[in-house]
Copies of this chain bind each other. A is one copy, B any other.
Amino acid sequence: MLFKVEMVVRIPPEMPADTAEQIKREEKQYAQRLQEQGVWRHLWRVAGQYANVSIFDVESNEALHNLLTQLPLYPYMEVTVTPLCRHPSSIHPDDR
């Protein structure tokens, strides 16, 4: 089941640089593990913004919630979730 998730990141300017770097490293590892498992299906950067557009493939709303709230950057994110479904004109077998 697919969801579009948009994440805007706002790291507070007073956070020490190495703390920020450490969280971003953990975020990257976590994001890549979820991509390898197939649940984080797509991940794009929004041009000019510290933000991304993502597609998640999960079994339930609850599974999505658990994945998102464990993101190392989650406390600094504004997250918007949009439930998607197959479009009748789509020819892509995976876009469901």
Spell out A's residues near B (CB within 8 Å): 1-5, 12-13, 27-28, 31-32, 35-36, 41-50, 52-53, 55, 60-62, 64-65, 68-69, 75-76, 79-92, 95-96
In the bound assembly, the distance between CA atoms of A69 and B49 in angstroms comes to: 8
B81 in contact with A83 (CB, 8 Å): yes
If over half of A's interface residues share one DSSP class (helix, strand or loop), that class is named, otherwise mixed; here it is mixed
Report the minimum CB–CB distance from A2 to chain B (whole Å): 6
Q: Which of chain B's residues have a CB closer than 8 A to the CB of A50?
A: 69
In the bound assembly, the distance between CA atoms of A69 and B5 in angstroms comes to: 22
Stoichiometry, as copies per complex, reads: 10
| Most B CB within 10 A of own CB, among A36, A83, A84, A91 | A83
A47 in contact with B84 (CB, 8 Å): yes
B28 in contact with A48 (CB, 8 Å): no
Q: Which of chain B's residues have a CB closer than 8 A to the CB of A86?
A: 44-45, 62
